[in-house]
Structure 1
Amino acid sequence: MAASLWWDDGETSQHGVQENKKEDLLVFGYACKLFRDDERANAIDKGKLLIPWMGDEKLMIDRYDGRGHLFDLAHHDADNIRDKGQPTLTEEDEAVEKACDEERYLELHTDVREAEMYEGISNYFQR
């Protein structure tokens, strides 16, 4: 679908919207040489290159798996997360958080560009 829209020459699309002319599209790659190694491929398929996670032979992971760096999972346990709860904020911190949320979500309910345009027009006429 996306490719067909890109190749469209500006004609009206199926949604009835006038499409822009073609945009620039950059595609690049690097040359590489692949070596066939059936012995290594069979070892990978059979799981011979996997390592036990935290010494547990039942749970095998790839040596590049990020879980290999996790040794203590207690910090990530759901029971510990629920017990900690949310830290209580002071009134000042709550006011700051409220102001940040207002700024963060402002454009969901306000057209900022339009408001700036009207503000600029009103400033122009107030001179």
Structure 2
Amino acid sequence: MWHEARKSERKVHDLMDAARKRAQRRAVFLAKRRGDPQQSIQVIGSRCRMYRDDGLYQATQDQQGLIPWNGKEDILIDRFDGRALLDFIREPRHGRAKEKSEEEEELEEFVNFERYRDLIKHRRRGCRYFFELD
């Protein structure tokens, strides 16, 4: 009975030691990875041949490979463009910030006062370790 208890205790200690060593190795590995990010930049290149094709270049410049998008002649896209899979293109919002009424400006000023009131009160009392107002 004593031998079995001792044997299981050794097994538990061995497992704990293995877990501790694994955690240390993991910490060292992660510390190396967390180092300077510029040290982990890899640039990979391969040779390729360039073939000059004046006809293809001119066709691209003349926009011959473009197709009308969604039946609209004024919107042209490349035939391999992913937008061809969309049903519509959302118009960009160019709306200016609308003018605030005097009541809205007063309300916003009051809300800002309430937002920073505690900070200003603490600063007057000399508690400068919470924040630093410029």
TM interval, shorter chain, is 0.3 to 0.5
Q: Decide which structure has greater helix share.
A: 2
Q: What TM-score do the two structures reach when normalised by structure 2?
A: 0.35
Q: What TM-score do the two structures reach when normalised by structure 1?
A: 0.37
